[in-house]
Structure 1
Amino acid sequence: MAFESSLLFGIYSQTKQSLQGGVQSSRPQPQVIIPSAAFAGAIISFVLCPSELVKDANSRLQVTGAFRGGSTTFLRESIGNAVFFSVYEYVRYYMHLQLKSGSSDHNNLVDMGIGILSGGLGGVAFWSTVLPLDVAKTIIQTAPDKSSPTNPFQVLNSIYRMSGLRGCYTGLGPTILRAFPANAAAIVTWEVAMKLLGIKNN
């Protein structure tokens, strides 16, 4: 998790900086945020796919390719992180406009509160958007038959026919409950680390 998060936030920050071309803008720029986040998500999918395959107890009992479900993980991470960082950047920007004032101590508390809310909402948006892809990925990776379909849309179509939209969002409640605090903590940690290292988060 530490490696994955470092990679995700590092690639996102560096790509965003490159796309901005040294021009700093306080206002979020979707033409910079979305490709930076999608690229970062795409790269970490190559780390996540084999690790998630091994993590699942059923999968460990089979001989499967390390990247079975790789295209689904790639889609989930690219789309999900584009959504996550867009929500994070916009919530952060508009909350700073409304709330940032007063002493530096107060500003630190405000920054932390903004980090908690923007990170938590970003995490909720991520999983609300891509949970069906995660459901499909789990089915693909745990299928006992190697000849089972690996196309996530084909898998989701089967789930939808059998269980409707609810089936595509299996586990949404616990996922959202976990997503808010986990992503809030990740964002606050990232922002504090950047402050301590003297890196401007723009």
Structure 2
Amino acid sequence: MAEISSSGYKEYVAGLSAGVAAVATGHPFDTVKVMLQKHNAEAHMIQYRNGLHCTARILKTEGIKGLYRGATPSFVGIAVEGSLFFGIYSQTKVYLQGGVQSGEPRPQVIIPSAAFSGAIISFVLGPTDLIKVKGIFRGGCATLLRESIGNVVFFSVYEYVRYHMHSNIKANSSNHRNLVDIGVGIASGGLGGVAFWLTVLPLDVAKTLIQTNPDKNCPRNPFGVLSSGWIEGVLYSLGATVSRAFPANAATIVAWELALKMLGIKRD
């Protein structure tokens, strides 16, 4: 589906809204994942049976604010990232379409637009990781590959699911149309997010291994790192990653599309 009209700054504002929605939905999942990894790996700490047990414990002892511990920096960082990411994707897509409306999604437009926006974002994510790993370009290759490849998959799934769902669902009123738009956004965004992580989770594990290795001279080729012992890391994080991917990306897309509509950027 192609944009009929576009206004530069508005696409970045819509992307900022998407970033805020991503943190609001996804941060509790990240909190639970960190608690599971930290507490279950260290002696003399609470042992959680699973994610639900961990969530219930946090809510009981700290309330809802416990799930959003440390969320403020994330809101700022992800909001800026979302603004750049969706703004660059939208404007690159419009440029490649030459301003001509196009019905069915075209790979020759989606793939370079998604890859380019993902590549740019990988350089934004590098300094963010500096706080954690004290090496601004360490793991940069893995991050670049993860964001470029992953976002090609994400936007391809999103655009095609969105197109075919809208093509087969007819709304009889404006109220029904709004509900359809939200439902399609949930399905297309959620499935796109799951597809993203199923595709690039090995690269994400490689990035983590490179960034957390205490040896400053450790190998930084992600494929070399993946050649040994990466399956365990993928399997360990698969459940938590996928369970977060659907709701977080569904909320992100719904917020993005609603923001575009409110800002007057129309889509077929």
| TM-score clears 0.5 | yes
Pick the aligned partner of 2:202 from 132, 157, 161: 132
- 2:129–2:136 Cα contact (<8 Å) kept: no
Describe the superposition over 1:48-93 as per-residue Cα deviations: whole angstroms up to 9, x where unpaired.
Answer: 1221342x4xx3xxxx421111111000000000000000000000
Pick the aligned partner of 1:99 from 158, 169, 186: 169
Superposed, 1:3-18 pairs within 5 Å as 3-18=80-95
Cα distance in 1 between the residues matched to 2:130 and 2:226: 19
RCO greater where, 1 or 2, for CA within 8 Å and sep 6 or more?
2
SS at match of 2:228: helix
Cα distance in 2 between the residues matched to 1:167 and 1:18: 40
Superposed, 1:82-161 pairs within 5 Å as 82-160=152-230
Pairwise CA distance, 1:2: 0.4
- Within the alignment, does 1:186 sit opposite 2:248 as a pair? no
Pick the aligned partner of 1:38 from 90, 94, 115: 115
Aligned residue type for 2:104: R
Cα distance in 1 between the residues matched to 2:182 and 2:126: 32
Residue matched to 2:74:
none
Residue matched to 1:199:
265
Identity %: 69
Pick the aligned partner of 2:239 from 151, 173, 176: 173
Taking only aligned residues, the RMSD between alpha carbons, in angstroms, comes to 1.2
Q: Which ranges of structure 1 fall in alignment gaps of 5 or more residues?
A: none
- Within the alignment, does 1:67 sit opposite 2:133 as a pair? no
Aligned residue type for 2:240: P
- Which structure's CA Rg is the greater one? 2
Cα distance in 2 between the residues matched to 1:26 and 1:20: 11
**Relative to structure 1, is the Cα distance of residues 168 and 175 closer, same or farther in structure 2, using a 3 angstrom cutoff?**
closer
Describe the superposition over 1:30-59 as per-residue Cα deviations: whole angstroms up to 9, x where unpaired.
Answer: 1100110000000000111221342x4xx3
- 1:53–1:141 Cα contact (<8 Å) kept: no
**Relative to structure 1, is the Cα distance of residues 17 and 180 closer, same or farther in structure 2, using a 3 angstrom cutoff?**
same
Residue matched to 2:22:
none
Aligned residue type for 2:114: A
SS at match of 1:140: helix
Cα distance in 2 between the residues matched to 1:116 and 1:100: 17
Q: Which ranges of structure 2 fall in alignment gaps of 5 or more residues?
A: 1-77
Pairwise CA distance, 1:23: 1.2
